[in-house]
Structure 1
Amino acid sequence: MAAISRAFCHGYGLETDVRDHQGDVVISHDPSPSDYGVKMKHASSPVEVEWVLRKAISHALIGDQAEWAKKPNLKIPLAINIKSDGIGSMIIKALENIDIGKFPWFAFDMSVPEMVSYIKLSIPVFTRHSDIEKFPVLYDQAHGVWLDSFSWPVWYDNKDIKEHLAYGKYVCVVSPELHGHSAEKVESVWRSIHDSGLFRRGFLL
């Protein structure tokens, strides 16, 4: 929770993994051993999404750290990485009682059948576009694009980003260091994007 709270306090959006665990939606990348009936002495229990976000948002909106929250047009995106199927309705329920007006959220990385169900539930979704996923699925229905590159050099250029923006899509570019690329390579990508003037509304990092 501390990391999420710090991000919100400083006006940074974030990405977090969400899955189901014993009837709740929790923040966790991997399944808990207890989901498979395995007992581990020092295993930590996954934390419920609603509890974490409620605490983190409450902390971010109070005290000296809250100056950014007074800016009416500032929005802090929350990217929810879906790690298990069948939890769309559970996510809606977990978030419906939290004041997330300044924290617009979207879901991504779910299976294609799940993506269809999320769209039917009116959940904002981002579709993936990468050197492997060359044709973004359900592009017209998606709110935005999760732009990624598993190879180097990155396959996309600023023209690709501009085209997505021109279609009215939000664009979230995955930073290359997540795939093990050097700081110099990462800087070259961000420098190119920065110099092109793409840092504007609709563009996410």
Structure 2
Amino acid sequence: MTEQIRVLIADDQHLVRGALAALLSTERDIDVVAQVGSGDLVLDAATEHRVDVAILDIEMPGLTGIEAAAELKRHAPQVRSLIVTTFGRPGYVRRALQEGASGFIVKDTPPAQLAEAIRRVASGLRVVDPTLAEDSLFTPANPLTEREIEVCQVARHGGSIREIATELHLSSGTVRNHMSSLIRKTGTGNRHAAVRAAEDNGWL
């Protein structure tokens, strides 16, 4: 009997989780044993269900897929993480692999290739979408500091400088300095464009 690869699917869209589970159910050696809709549920579910591979979306409530991959790497290193996302940005690929993910592919990957990616990741190999891998080689590394990333993450939800400062427990002057640095590093003309550029590059 073929040894089963125990899989967890983490995606905040119920329809996507169901579709992935249905596709993978046709594979004799892959068993979807858990589904969650939030990144902060990944570690507990992966541990409880003795998961081999966790399929993670990037944009989820609680923790992002990249943050969930990092948590698995620290606390459940036997679980391999495979990012399967719509957001195929080169910066995300670099960050995901740095944080402990074993693979990164996009959601329009053919089912047979997805199944093969799961098998390869389960066996200890790395799998990265070839186009994204090539693009990531020519995309500059994230130039933002951790504090600048925090400011940018809050700024993308709108709000004034004062509101951003209050949320991060900083002075308004400090937030303005960080925003000026963000604008300079992204080569943009204002903070809204800077946030968009950081998102597009996968730096957040």
The two structures have a TM-score, normalised by structure 2, of 0.32
Q: Which has a greater percent of helix? A: 2
Give TM-score, length-normalised by structure 1.
0.32
